[in-house]
DNA sequence: CTCGTTGATGAGACCAAGTCTCGTCACCGT
DNA sequence: ACGGTGACGAGACTTGGTCTCATCAACGAG
């Protein structure tokens, strides 16, 4: 038998989502989250840098996936095709487990300005990573920024719709569809 | 003679920018900022909700200006023309005083992840306010979001170039120019 | 002129986030 | 058998942020 129960990190994430949803993010203390996970405050901060990050850990992975996908697109691909490749590659992050947690996470984040702030920061990182990957492909500056912005917007819109159980399409299909709509709106803009 | 020196709020802003720039944002305590302004920590928090906001106060005004400008555009205006009107209207916020503080502010914000987080949040608010104003004009959803995103990107790019003293064009001219470039990139996107 | 009100501030207690140091002890390789 | 490793607990400590209460110049009513 192990000295400590395994998956301390996962237990912390679950405890945090549960408590934040039950009684609210602001009134929940880190000590409470740690206690529900069978740990202490000090250990919480060994796994996460702050009280917010426990909800967003794993999203650095999204940046990596988007950048990898864009970089791996064939040489002749247009910027938009590279963004599509990035979204396809990011599909790897969207497991059924994520789908189950999505709505609860969205609700909790929506309830707190502090959490929305972190979400905005993560989104900015996503856009920066994707724009960087496009620039490394030789896409010139204003185009790379616009394409990355559309890609990240599609990424988030698709995630929102993916969480609605009424829509049974795969995340990849939803992302392609959102990107197509955004691109159409952009080219038609006057 | 007044009981208190006037402009407590402004003194706090100046003290904060100075100290954050001199010795770094993270190692500066709110008590130090208040002391340099001739006040106490409690009074700091009467003027600003937290340690970060002292650098961003006044930016809610930007959302208001953008929304007002977009709402005031003539009835027949296209979405892009409404965004242009919004940027023109926001010109009111860019005084010579702002121009002098801009580069220092940018440097301080760039030095701290916590401050970049707040900046990303403010940007998201700007985009949401502009998109809302466009939707109220009857612009349908994906188009409003894309136009707002381009507008906010132009807003920030113009502010960056406006801070470079090498470029003597007015903020309004710079913003129109940036928006034009971004729009061109968007319509040419493949 | 006097007096009560107003409102910005100071003083300081208080809580929680986040940091840091030190001690513990199962596990693992030698 | 034994020393090293690493995840964890305990608890002190700093600082961001909140709250309550006291202070006192300005101001207006009488």
Residue in chain A lying closest to B127 (CA): A120
Which residues are CB-neighbours of A124 under 8 A, at least 6 positions away? B116, B120, B123
**What tokens were used for A126?**
């996503």
Return the biggest CA–CA distance within chain A: 67
- pLDDT (tens place) for every residue of chain B, 190 residues total: 345 656 999 999 999 999 999 999 999 999 999 999 999 999 999 999 999 999 999 899 999 999 999 999 999 999 999 999 999 999 999 999 889 888 999 999 999 999 999 999 999 999 999 999 999 999 999 999 999 999 999 999 999 999 887 888 999 999 999 999 999 999 999 9
- A48 and A62, same domain (yes or no): no
Which pLDDT does position B110 carry in this prediction? 97
Chain D: bases < 7 Å from a protein Cβ: 7-12, 15-20, 24-26
| Residue B181: alpha-carbon gap to chain centroid | 21
Report residue B116 as tokens. 């970049």
Whether residue B3 lies inside any domain: the answer is no
CB atoms within 10 A of CB A6: 8
* DSSP label at residue B57: T
**A70 is in which domain, residue-wise?**
58-187
Examine residue A97 and state whether it is found in any structural domain, yes or no. yes
- Domain identity same for A121 and A62: yes
A36 and A67 in a single domain? The answer is no
Domain membership of residue A161 (yes or no) is: yes
Distance of B115 CA from C15 C1′ (whole Å): 24
- Residue A1's pLDDT is what? 39
The CATH number linked to B144 is 1.10.357.10
String of DSSP letters for B122-147: HHHHHHHHHHHHHHHTT--HHHHHHH
Low-confidence ranges of chain A (pLDDT < 50): 1
Q: Which nucleotide is nearest to A7 (CA to C1')?
A: D7
Answer yes or no: is A101 within a domain.
Answer: yes
Contacts of B143 in chain A (CB under 8 A): 185, 188-189
Residues B86 and B70 in one domain: yes
Res A22: pLDDT: 96
Instruction: Please report the pLDDT score of residue B1 as a whole number.
Output: 38
Same structural domain for residues A31 and A71? no
Asked if residue B147 is part of any domain, the answer here is yes
* One domain for residues B81 and B158: yes
Residue A31 Cβ < 7 Å to strand C: yes
Do A131 and A44 belong together in one domain?
no
Whether B69 and B160 share a structural domain = yes
The CATH code of the domain that includes B12 is 1.10.10.60
Do B82 and B167 lie in one domain? The reply is yes
* Residue from the list A80, A118, A189 with its beta carbon closest to the beta carbon of B187: A189
Chain A neighbours among B 131-150 (CB < 8 Å)? 142-143, 145-147, 149-150
For residue A61, give the nearest of A129, A108, A4 by alpha carbon. Answer: A129
Flag if B190 and A78 touch (Cβ within 8 Å): yes
**Shared domain check, A68 and A47:** no
Alpha-carbon torsion angle A153, B131, A56, A71, nearest 10: 20
Within a domain: A144: yes
The reported pLDDT for the residue numbered B142 is: 96
Residue B119 in any domain: the answer is yes
């Amino acid at each position: 038998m192990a000295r400590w129960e395994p998956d301390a990190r996962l237990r912390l994430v679950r405890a945090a989502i549960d408590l934040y949803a039950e009684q609210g993010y602001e009134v929940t203390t880190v000590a409470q989250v740690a206690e529900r996970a069978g740990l202490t405050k000090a250990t919480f901060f060994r796994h996460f840098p702050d009280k917010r990050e426990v909800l967003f850990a794993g999203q650095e992975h999204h940046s990596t996936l988007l950048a990898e996908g864009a970089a791996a697109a064939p040489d002749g691909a247009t910027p938009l095709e590279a963004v599509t490749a990035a979204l396809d590659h990011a599909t790897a992050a969207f497991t059924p487990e994520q789908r189950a947690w999505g709505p609860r996470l969205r609700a909790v984040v929506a309830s707190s300005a502090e959490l929305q702030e972190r979400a905005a920061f993560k989104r900015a990182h996503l856009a920066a990573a994707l724009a960087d990957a496009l620039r490394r492909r030789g896409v010139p500056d204003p185009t790379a920024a616009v394409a990355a912005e559309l890609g990240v917007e599609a990424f988030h819109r698709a995630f929102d719709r993916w969480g609605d159980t009424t829509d049974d399409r795969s995340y990849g299909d939803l992302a392609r569809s959102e990107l197509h709509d955004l691109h159409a709106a952009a080219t038609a803009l006057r």
